[in-house]
A and B are shown apart, each in its own frame.
Chain A
């Protein structure tokens, strides 16, 4: 593999690693989310330095250029990350919905002209534990 692309990929991987560590240090990125990033950066670093491994993987998956192997795994990583974000967004939406409902339930308004003594006593009826996560 051309030395220029190796410098590029090694430099890129090191940059991503440093940025992730810095973001976690400044608490802008939760440790939980750093896993996929660190994993990918280390993978790119590994195959850039240890070229014979990349050549083997390229051969094994039937690609022609080692660079396209890197791009393929880079793209795969991006898709996994996007899917991961979709899952997180779905989870956030469910939690937001539960909160919106709780806010509504906290102050139910009585009909005009009726006093608050109509407010029924809260009954102790168990509700299934709805919001896990």
Chain B
């Protein structure tokens, strides 16, 4: 057993999960792999197990944030020191993880986000509506945090165990973590860093696609507002 864990939340990803797990096991041999099957109706769990991943199955579909938080809880209880996370739809490539990991290991950041937009090579082109929402909230997060945040929506991250432990509590916005969680981390004294990564364009539906974009904008505004209104949470409570 390693003390590094990759958490991969998956909902009806039987087409992609095997290649994602294989990618992680090839590129990151030092990591244990945990797939969170978020109440899939298909064979996601069996295929992930066959590909060599441990599988945590949620009995009912509970959403991306809840699935991720289950992974954090597992990691904290099992005593993992470093927790990485990737999406199961094949957008993320494990080969970039060592660059993120380096920043956590040398102690310069508590959580590192893999950003699609940091290198500005335009390899990733979201739809116009999403682009407007993403740039709006990254601008807000950057202003509040006084540091450049280019991709707060990215689910490609690596964090120290105390960040994961922080995420296990009720402070985590379990329905849809985004710019609000970065602001919360900043206010709680964690250091957030970004590293440029390449991502593939999503092939199928995104886990976020179910959210109506108007609700997304509303929810993010409200969430950032109440995060700012709440007293800062002490990180080592």
Contact = CB atoms under 8 A, between A and B. Distances in A.
A110 to B, nearest CB: 6
B66 A101 contact: yes
A100 B168 CA distance: 14
A7 B45 CA distance: 64
Interface residues of B, number: 34
B50 to A, nearest CB: 5
B36 interface: yes
Interface of B: 1, 34, 36, 45, 49-60, 62, 66, 69-70, 73-74, 76-79, 161, 165-166, 168-170, 174, 237
Interface string A100-133: 1101110111111000001010110111111110
Contact of A104 (B49, B70, B77, B165): B70
Interface of A: 94, 97, 100-101, 103-105, 107-112, 118, 120, 122-123, 125-132
Nearest to A128: B169
A108 B59 contact: no
14 contacts: A97-B174, A100-B60, A100-B62, A101-B73, A103-B58, A104-B56, A112-B50, A112-B52, A122-B77, A123-B78, A127-B77, A127-B165, A128-B165, A130-B168
A104 to B, nearest CB: 5
B76 A127 contact: yes
B1 A109 contact: no
List 7 tightest A-B contacts by C-beta distance, closest first. Answer: A123-B79, A128-B169, A120-B1, A109-B55, A101-B70, A104-B58, A111-B52
The CB with the most chain A CB atoms within 10 A, among B1, B50, B69, B73, is that of B73
B170 A132 contact: yes
B59 A105 contact: no
Contact of A108 (B34, B50, B66): B34
A122 B73 CA distance: 12
A123 B170 contact: no
Nearest to B32: A120
Contacts of B59: 100, 103-104
B96 to A, nearest CB: 24
Query: Chain A's interface: helix, strand, loop or mixed, by majority?
Result: loop
A105 B165 CA distance: 15
B174 to A, nearest CB: 6
Contacts of B169: 127-130
A7 to B, nearest CB: 47
Contacts of A104: 36, 56-59, 70
A105 B237 contact: no
B156 to A, nearest CB: 22
Given A105-B73, A125-B165, A127-B165, A100 B58 contact: yes
A45 B76 CA distance: 56
Contacts of B168: 127-128, 130
Contacts of B53: 111
A94 B161 CA distance: 23
Given A104-B57, A109-B55, A120 B170 contact: no
Contact of B55 (A94, A108, A118, A122): A108
A125 B78 CA distance: 8
A110 B77 contact: no
